[in-house]
Amino acid sequence: MDIKIVLDFIESINSADLDKMCDLMTIDHTFIDSQENKTTGRDNMRQAWMGYFDLFPDYKIEINEIIEKDSLICIFGHASGTYMNLINNENSNYWKVPIALKAIAKDNQIAIWQVYADNSPVIEIITKKR
């Protein structure tokens, strides 16, 4: 059952469906990014994801493997997106990085969502475009 919740959450991320994403988060949901910055609370996460989708409107998570142990789900795959959808002929704003995600489910919702990724290609693209 917990894997279904995680798959639904990823599907809602891939379709940028903020309402569905928030429905799948606990009220005290905690997001931890690859730099170990934490954001807590469903409402705070709605605002954070809205800003992220503004930067990367085509953000997607591709799943290669899922491991589940009790309420802990680990996802391995790739994340990709295009910075502000400004695609030039060289497609230099597009990025794709390996990603690992840790999800902890509680009461049929996502309580913790943690990202492990090397975001240096993304940071390099953002830095060049400023």
Taking residues 37-58, report their average pLDDT: 96
104 — pLDDT class (breaks 50, 70, 90): very high
Taking residues 12-32, report their average pLDDT: 98
**Residue 129: burial class (beta carbons within 10 Å; 0-12, 13-18, 19+):** exposed
> Bigger pLDDT: 4 or 93?
4
Q: What domains can be seen in the chain, in order of their start residue?
A: 2-129 (3.10.450.50)
CA distances from 27 to 24, 42, 81, 110, 118 (A): 9, 5, 28, 9, 28
Taking residues 14-29, report their average pLDDT: 97
Q: Is the pLDDT of residue 128 over 80?
A: no
pLDDT of amino acid 129: 59
- Confirm if 99 and 116 have CB atoms less than 8 A apart: yes
- Confirm if 126 and 98 have CB atoms less than 8 A apart: no
**Residue 71 and residue 4: Cα distance in Å, rounded?**
12
pLDDT of amino acid 88: 52
Taking residues 19-45, report their average pLDDT: 97
Strands 25-32 and 109-117: parallel
- Confirm if 93 and 81 have CB atoms less than 8 A apart: no
Q: Is the pLDDT of residue 80 over 90?
A: yes
Taking residues 48-71, report their average pLDDT: 95
Cβ partners under 8 Å of residue 77, min gap 6: 61, 62, 63, 64, 65, 98, 99
